[in-house]
Structure 1
Amino acid sequence: MSKTKSNQSVIVSAMKMALGTFSSRILGLVRDSVLGALFDRTITDAFVVAFRLPNFFRRFLGEGSLNVSFVPVYVELIHQDEVQQTQNAQKLSNSIYTLLSLTASIVTILGVIFMEPVMSHLVGSDEFAGVPGKLELTILFARIMFSYLYLVSTYAYFMSIANSVGAFFLPALAPALFNLCTIVVALMPNFSERWSGINLAYGVLIGGLVQAGLVFFQLWQLKVLPSWTRKIRVPGLRLVLKNMVPGLVGLGVLQIISLINVYYAGQLPEGSHTYLYYGDRLLELPQSLLAISLGTALLPSLSGFVARGNHEGMLKEAARYMRVLMYMALPCSVGLFLLAEPIVRLLFGRGAFMESDILATSEVVRIYSGLLLATSFRKVIVPSFYALKDTITPAIISVFVVASHIILAPILLPIMGLAGLSLSVTVSGVVNVVLLLVVYKKKVGDLYGSKLLLLMAKCLPAIVGLTLISLAYFPITNWTNSVIGAASLKRPVESFVLGIVIFLAALAYFTISSFCGIEESKLIRSRLFEKFSRRWQKRKQ
């Protein structure tokens, strides 16, 4: 495959994933808005804490170490099958699916049985458990939603197979259906007179079933649907398991940060879990458009370079998309910092979500905005290691990352409260990407750091333009609020102004960077125009 075709392939794949993932994130924000508006902080805290556990384990079993260890081997077997006329890739997917199903079932059963002691240790502090019925509600939610672990692990594995054979849109869109189901079920009359908000837990189960079912159907259409098998020992299995073990350590250690946050947030005033969760969600929106879509689409491409023995091509591919990520993540990070409060107010500021909730969540978002560049870079660097079947290096680095959080969090928490916990997470994320970059350069090759710094310098005029337009939101809304007498009109006007400001700020960034001759802006523009041009030609035909 030529360099141009490879670049276009990854960009198009990333765009497809970004479109599907963006739809999911938007519906996810609608779900979270409904959650905050309909229920008080006792219920939202209980739901957020209960939902953390299945999400924690899904990183192990679903979209974590298993997938990143499986995809490179699976892609390589696909190439071999084409040459040798074998079916080793399908045999491997069947074997992994069988092992995954058994493991997820066992973990789910054990989780439901031992949920009460686990939650009592995790959030048994006086600040959390001292609220009447809060711990009991959390345990109930967690037991119901833990069955979601099996469904989401299956979905994530199916998605990795679909991505490996070039199908990106529907797997990325499936979580949108999950969020839609949770919204619909949450708005229905409560299923239990005793337990308020129990619909949220059942909505997660129904949504998980629909989500997995959509990708199941696509794999069946593509004729790559895995099935249970008794023949576990197949070509490639040992390599997948060998690569998976250190990856489990690495991803597992990093996921411990989320449990550490649950533990420490339990020692803070009510609502802290909700504020951290909403901060995570707002950070995930630009991540879904940038790092997650690009990183997931990039792994099969990098694995293809390695399978063909083109090490230099892999290095250039990773370096190129590091620059694309920096170009796209910089304005998102700055914009999120400057407009955190109006964005939080627009998305969540209604119903039971009060002014104090808005201010606390905004503070978390501002601190987390500095994490966007770091997490974006990680989504490219780590797949590069995985494409080389090196899962040990990210695992070792993750130990140092968690250690930094464990040291910082208890120091900052008494001084800064929730802001200190958020800052510790951000600092740990920066430590993670710095260590990854240093080790990558020594073990794999140069990611052309000088070009990254040069790109950042070139982006400064565009960032200044974006900043000036973003800051204009505040005097404009102050003026409109003083002119508009009716309180009912202030919120719609503020929302309209915010939308216009974000659009103009993004347009200014893109336009100024284009005038500055930034190559990444030309690449994105050419891909967008080419895509729209093809659609226009098809319509004319």
Structure 2
Amino acid sequence: MSSIFSTFKVGALTLISRILGLLRDIATTNLLGASVFHDVFVVVLKIPNMFRRLFAEGAFTLAFIPIYKSLISNKKDSEANEFSDSLLTFMLIALSVFTLLALAIAPIFIFIFAPGYYFDSEIKMLAVDILRIMFPYLSLMSLVAFAAGIQNSHNYFSIPAATPIVFNCVLIAAAIFFSEFFEIPVFALAWGVLISGFLQLLLQIYPLNRIGFRPKFSLSLKNKHLKKFGMAIIPAILAGGVAQINLVVDTVFASFLEEGSPTWLYVSERVMQLPIGVAAVAIGTVLLPSLSHHISSKNIDQFKQTFLKSTKLVIFIGLPCTLGLISLGYEILDMLFHRGAFLVKDVFKANQSLQLFAIGVPFFMLMKVLVPCFFALKRERIPLYIAIVGLVSNVILNYFFAFYLEFGHSGLALGSSIAAVIGVTIFFTILIKEKYFSLNTSFFIFSLRVCFSALLMTICIILLRNYFDLGSLSGLSNILMVLLVIFIAFLTFLASSFITGVRQKDFY
């Protein structure tokens, strides 16, 4: 029960953060539209964010929590403290060196990540300046991830889940209140990113004090747990690195497409990421410590049950989200972003990619559950191999759809979705073969119930969309009607799920 409560608590805080994230995107697109300034901002922000997801939130979390959690679970607090002290000291040194190096060679980063911008001198100069302001954000967020790993291992999930709220609030303030003080408004956003990093780090002080965590600067390279961490993080970095290269591939391709493509992709991806961020990240955050505990306790049956119920929860959330975004995507984008410099044409273009991103929503969500599962099993190489397959698939599919078939930016979305389907299929094939998961009658019936309920919800959306004639509405009336349709569709799905036999026990 505590696990599911933690999941919903993290999910609720993440939902608040995601809603604020949408408000942030509304503010930035209202300010800059789908201009080259917004294109450059979203592309350059991906550079420190890529390293953040790779080292801080991705590989670090997957490698750190199983080791640290095992130590504190077995009452080895002194060893846990020695390990965390050595790791923190090493991180501070490594991050300082890497950040200084990145600032010095910023133009090279632009050439690697956005070659389409590198050969335009004005855009290149703008991109380099923005990158140099924002790159230290990586170091700050790496330290935040360290603090979050400590808290999650002690079963404190609230502050780490609430931390991104700070980022969104600062960016909203920068776009609305401080952009007028800059000759080029995009620089207000760049400085906002950096300031938010400092504030997010300060937010971690109180919860760490409450846990009793008192870090000491002590680097012991002979620490056996630090060595174990090093051995675990290498495949995690490689696996995460391949996954992040997928994002780089999308960015590189997008930089060669028409102006506005990076912004259209960004906006549609942000809407698509809302259910992933709220549900899958919340489940995955709570799941890794739980699965690691079951493995260290040699409780394989409980491990299987926990994973099965998490998978069911993802399916229960993911399928209706896919059909909902496909059937109501344009209206959602119009409600959120059609204002200021973001025009009707931009809504239409963003919806093209959203429709194809939506196909992959359940699979993107399942990835957030599957990767922690294999790290809990100490099978770190499998996510690496699957990530490589996903990378190769993504490159081929992106080129094929975006350039050969000339689908443009929407081709990149379709390629990403299909690559996710391929990766999830391989993951489950391995789990089924090794008997950690089975497609039994109960699971099949559950999936049919969810599919039926999601289809009924979609029919409801289409009927309501036509009845209210959403395309003819504007302003507050449009917002209220779209929200009403979403609410009725949500109730329809829940009622249908209950009538067909979906119950609380399916999830915990």
Correspondent of 2:166 among 174, 177, 181: 177
Deviation of 1:191 after TM superposition, in Å, equals 7.5
Q: In structure 1, what residue type is equivalent to 2:27?
A: V
What are the within-5 Å matches in structure 2 for residues 523-538 of structure 1?
none
- In the alignment, the residues of structure 2 paired with residue 379 and residue 350 of structure 1 have an alpha-carbon distance, to the nearest angstrom, of 33
User: Does 228-237 or 136-145 show the bigger shift?
Assistant: 228-237
| Other structure's SS at 2:26 match | helix
Aligned equivalent of 2:4: 11
Q: In structure 2, what residue type is equivalent to 1:308?
A: S
Aligned equivalent of 1:500: 484
1:388 matched to 2:377: yes
Q: Percent of aligned pairs with the same residue?
A: 28
- In the alignment, the residues of structure 2 paired with residue 77 and residue 444 of structure 1 have an alpha-carbon distance, to the nearest angstrom, of 28
User: Does 465-474 or 46-55 show the bigger shift?
Assistant: 465-474
**How has the CA–CA distance of structure 1 residues 343 and 380 changed in structure 2, closer, same or farther, with 3 Å as cutoff?**
same
**How has the CA–CA distance of structure 1 residues 198 and 370 changed in structure 2, closer, same or farther, with 3 Å as cutoff?**
same
Cα RMSD, aligned residues only: 1.9
Aligned equivalent of 1:537: none
Deviation of 1:123 after TM superposition, in Å, equals 2.5
Aligned equivalent of 2:204: 215
- In the alignment, the residues of structure 2 paired with residue 448 and residue 103 of structure 1 have an alpha-carbon distance, to the nearest angstrom, of 45
What are the within-5 Å matches in structure 2 for residues 465-476 of structure 1?
465-476=456-467
Aligned equivalent of 1:282: 271
Aligned equivalent of 2:238: 249
Deviation of 1:89 after TM superposition, in Å, equals 1.2
Alpha-carbon contact 1:458-1:513 (below 8 Å) kept: yes
Aligned equivalent of 1:343: 332
Aligned equivalent of 1:430: 421
- In the alignment, the residues of structure 2 paired with residue 132 and residue 356 of structure 1 have an alpha-carbon distance, to the nearest angstrom, of 28
Alpha-carbon contact 1:192-1:198 (below 8 Å) kept: no
What are the within-5 Å matches in structure 2 for residues 255-404 of structure 1?
255-404=244-393
Aligned equivalent of 1:484: none
- In the alignment, the residues of structure 2 paired with residue 494 and residue 237 of structure 1 have an alpha-carbon distance, to the nearest angstrom, of 55
Alpha-carbon contact 1:344-1:358 (below 8 Å) kept: yes
User: Does 222-231 or 246-255 show the bigger shift?
Assistant: 222-231
Deviation of 1:54 after TM superposition, in Å, equals 0.3
Correspondent of 1:115 among 99, 102, 106: 106
Aligned equivalent of 1:463: 454
Alpha-carbon contact 1:375-1:429 (below 8 Å) kept: yes
- In the alignment, the residues of structure 1 paired with residue 354 and residue 470 of structure 2 have an alpha-carbon distance, to the nearest angstrom, of 26
1:60 matched to 2:60: no
User: Does 285-294 or 212-221 show the bigger shift?
Assistant: 212-221
- In the alignment, the residues of structure 2 paired with residue 343 and residue 480 of structure 1 have an alpha-carbon distance, to the nearest angstrom, of 11
TM-score, length-scaled by structure 2? 0.95
**How has the CA–CA distance of structure 1 residues 157 and 479 changed in structure 2, closer, same or farther, with 3 Å as cutoff?**
closer
**How has the CA–CA distance of structure 1 residues 104 and 473 changed in structure 2, closer, same or farther, with 3 Å as cutoff?**
farther
Alpha-carbon contact 1:57-1:149 (below 8 Å) kept: yes
| Other structure's SS at 2:474 match | helix
**How has the CA–CA distance of structure 1 residues 449 and 291 changed in structure 2, closer, same or farther, with 3 Å as cutoff?**
farther
Alpha-carbon contact 2:90-2:219 (below 8 Å) kept: no
Q: In structure 1, what residue type is equivalent to 2:319?
A: L
- In the alignment, the residues of structure 2 paired with residue 227 and residue 280 of structure 1 have an alpha-carbon distance, to the nearest angstrom, of 41
Aligned equivalent of 1:36: 29
Q: Deviations over 1:305-341 (max 9, x none)?
A: 1111112211121012111211121111111111110
Alpha-carbon contact 2:319-2:451 (below 8 Å) kept: no
Aligned equivalent of 1:91: 82
User: Does 95-104 or 161-170 show the bigger shift?
Assistant: 95-104
Deviation of 1:130 after TM superposition, in Å, equals 7.1
Q: In structure 2, what residue type is equivalent to 1:42?
A: V
What are the within-5 Å matches in structure 2 for residues 15-30 of structure 1?
15-30=8-23
Alpha-carbon contact 1:16-1:169 (below 8 Å) kept: yes
What are the within-5 Å matches in structure 2 for residues 507-518 of structure 1?
507-518=491-502
1:188 matched to 2:177: yes
1:234 matched to 2:223: yes
- In the alignment, the residues of structure 2 paired with residue 363 and residue 479 of structure 1 have an alpha-carbon distance, to the nearest angstrom, of 18
- In the alignment, the residues of structure 1 paired with residue 460 and residue 213 of structure 2 have an alpha-carbon distance, to the nearest angstrom, of 49
Deviation of 1:23 after TM superposition, in Å, equals 1.1
Q: Deviations over 1:59-109 (max 9, x none)?
A: 22201112111101111100222xx6x511121111221222222222211
- In the alignment, the residues of structure 1 paired with residue 441 and residue 383 of structure 2 have an alpha-carbon distance, to the nearest angstrom, of 23
User: Does 438-447 or 177-186 show the bigger shift?
Assistant: 438-447
1:138 matched to 2:122: no
Correspondent of 1:75 among 54, 69, 78: 69
Q: In structure 2, what residue type is equivalent to 1:111?
A: A
Q: In structure 1, what residue type is equivalent to 2:38?
A: T
- In the alignment, the residues of structure 1 paired with residue 216 and residue 327 of structure 2 have an alpha-carbon distance, to the nearest angstrom, of 50
1:204 matched to 2:197: no
TM-score, length-scaled by structure 1? 0.89
Q: Deviations over 1:451-485 (max 9, x none)?
A: 4332221223312321122113432342894xxxx
Structure 1 gap segments, 5+ residues each: 1-7, 482-488, 528-541
Deviation of 1:113 after TM superposition, in Å, equals 0.9
Q: In structure 1, what residue type is equivalent to 2:104?
A: I
- In the alignment, the residues of structure 1 paired with residue 299 and residue 61 of structure 2 have an alpha-carbon distance, to the nearest angstrom, of 22
**How has the CA–CA distance of structure 1 residues 189 and 73 changed in structure 2, closer, same or farther, with 3 Å as cutoff?**
closer
Deviation of 1:450 after TM superposition, in Å, equals 4.7
Deviation of 1:204 after TM superposition, in Å, equals 0.3
Q: In structure 2, what residue type is equivalent to 1:12?
A: F
- In the alignment, the residues of structure 2 paired with residue 227 and residue 450 of structure 1 have an alpha-carbon distance, to the nearest angstrom, of 53
- In the alignment, the residues of structure 2 paired with residue 417 and residue 357 of structure 1 have an alpha-carbon distance, to the nearest angstrom, of 14
**How has the CA–CA distance of structure 1 residues 121 and 87 changed in structure 2, closer, same or farther, with 3 Å as cutoff?**
closer
Alpha-carbon contact 2:31-2:175 (below 8 Å) kept: no
Deviation of 1:192 after TM superposition, in Å, equals 6.5
1:51 matched to 2:40: no
1:105 matched to 2:96: yes
Correspondent of 1:491 among 462, 471, 475: 475
Deviation of 1:9 after TM superposition, in Å, equals 1.9
Aligned equivalent of 1:409: 398
Alpha-carbon contact 2:331-2:470 (below 8 Å) kept: no
Aligned length: 505
